[in-house]
Structure 1
Amino acid sequence: MSDSLSPVPARHWHRLSDGRLQCDVCPRYCKLHDGQKGLCFVRERQGAEMVLATYGRSSGFCVDPIEKKPLNHFLPGTPVLSFGTAGCNLTCKFCQNWDISKAREVDRLNDAASPEAIAEAAVRLGCRSVAFTYNDPVVFLEYAADVADACRARGLKTVAVTAGYMTAAARSDFFSHMDAANVDLKAFSESFYQRLCSAELAPVLETLDYLRHRTEVWLEITTLLIPGENDGDDELRALARWIADRLGGDVPLHFSAFHPDWRMTDTPATPPLTLTRARTIAMGEGLRFVYTGNVHDPRGGSTWCPGCGALLIERDWYRLGRWNLAVTPEGAGSCRSCGTVVSGHFEAEAGTWGARRQPVRLRQGPV
């Protein structure tokens, strides 16, 4: 734990024969001389060790609906305390949170909070979970892990919103602290990842496979559809087929609408019909729960029984309506009409948080 705003020792690095230190958190493997920072700009070398410069510092806290992460099968309708820091290990030209993830000034992070203060605030605000989001939490792994542990001690769930671009060692460390994750599968082509993110597809697929088959972390996937870049029928079909074959048809997939931002302001916004088309293709490949996002589409945003077609969870934006789920004491769901099992983690009744977004100023305390 940290007791100040000073950087804390980082995990997952080693010394090279030439004296440089190599960061082993993500597949970039940044090799640093003293005083240098990795591409993420928050993991850096100070003297003989690697440190995390943003421990205890946040770009802000907000209570959101859990569906905004997006997670549709994890405690629907409940509030989640969300926060991020600065920095990112990808260079996505279409970044929708670029003012946070691309931040280079650590001192702009004015909200300081210890892991215990965050957990206490979440309990006080009536949240069921805490989400690491806005920028990718893999770059602040040590802080996220400590916050997650403090949350679990208070009976809170933890949620990671991540691009999944990490190494095997960091992956097992990071997700051992998480209860749920939404992984951003940005496209299903190496060329997209290389051109627009300066990254590779394979490590992301490895993260998805790891989460599904080697952990108990609840998994959902989001793909932001960008006109002319990753919205072709063949690519969508291949993406959905891979998920169905490798992860199973019960993993929820969210297709989200792009809006012009960061370095792709000349690219048009995603037409709603593109999301509907993508949803139809994905369901045709065997995915049972496919959603549309960032557009007003009550049908595409609601949960439907894959057995009888009944409406299970009605959603209008982030507001929940009809609830047709039977839920066991363990949180397993099934259709009240036909008994078909619905994968996820549910409570007996739908939460009522709705579409509220409540910025929060945490009570200051030592970190």
Structure 2
Amino acid sequence: MVNLELEEALEQLEEILLSADIGTATTADILTDLRATARGEKIDPEDIKMVLRGKILEVLRMGTDKGETTESPSALRYSPDGLTVWMVMGANGMGKTTTIGKLAARLRGEGKRVLVAACDTFRAAAVDQLEEWANRAQVDIHRPQEGETEPWKVVEAALDEALTPLPDESGRLPYDVMIVDTAGRLANNVDLNEELEKMVKVTSKRLPAAPAEILLVVDASIGRNAVEQARIWQEDIGVTGLVVTKLDGTARAGFVVSVVRDLNLPVKLVGVGEKLEDLRDFDAENYVDALFGYNPQQARLLEERMGALMRERAEKEAAEKRLIEEQSRKMLAEMTKGQKQQQAASKGGGGDSMFELVTADG
């Protein structure tokens, strides 16, 4: 009966996962793992959703727990010293320029000095659009100079500007972070991808630790197509993280689970609106709860139940450990006792033989 209830619960979860656009292969793997966990740990079918939530959170956190002191994979990476360079890429219409503007505004709000490098020389209006966002964010922009039609040359000139010390004899650089805009491209556009590879090489030649991030911007509404885009660009360019835009307007964002699980590629940021402040750190818990339609109260109850289950499991493991230790102590004590008896018997063995001889003669 319990197995039947478990399979019915898993069927319902399969429908939820597939409708959320998590994908058939990822869904099958998750359910196989879930089934094994439920049977191995004798979890009630009614608790299966809670366990699923925990497993997807584990995937999205890439093996780091909520309470760990290690840096989250979703945290943006900075160069250890000097200028930090981030490159932002993606197909046209994904919200790349908007994301750069929001990111620049956020950094400025944190007290960082930001330079935006307009390296999209392919689309005529791209530089003007980026400049508009840079003005809104109140940060500087490096525009291509006349005759600079090759993006790698624009990157080089922007690096010259960002790496020239201030004239105040302090030796400080004028900027903390440089965000590089790139031309929108499809994942299979060989020419534009080679161009981007050259931009990366030029940057790393000037700064060995750069770029600290190569961020791929994807629109949440494109669903599973984002997985293949990310796969190609990760192999060709070395994408380090994902920015998911329009996450507020779609329920088809389950592909994020596949990207993280299959490509080991973390989600860094999410766009949830059109305002400058509508760019947020990726929160795995909020994402999972929104994916499954949990309201805050339901999420809290699931969290509490999961906590109780983990405590029960820990107590059970501790009790089993104590039992094993007690059994080991008893076995050791019996072995020690047996050894002592054997030693005593071997020491007194000659006397016993003489006694037998005397009594036999008597």
Which has the larger share of helix? 2
**TM (normalized to structure 2)?**
0.33
Structure that is richer in strand per residue: 1
Superposition TM-score, scaled by structure 1 size: 0.32
Structure (1 or 2) with the larger CA radius of gyration: 2
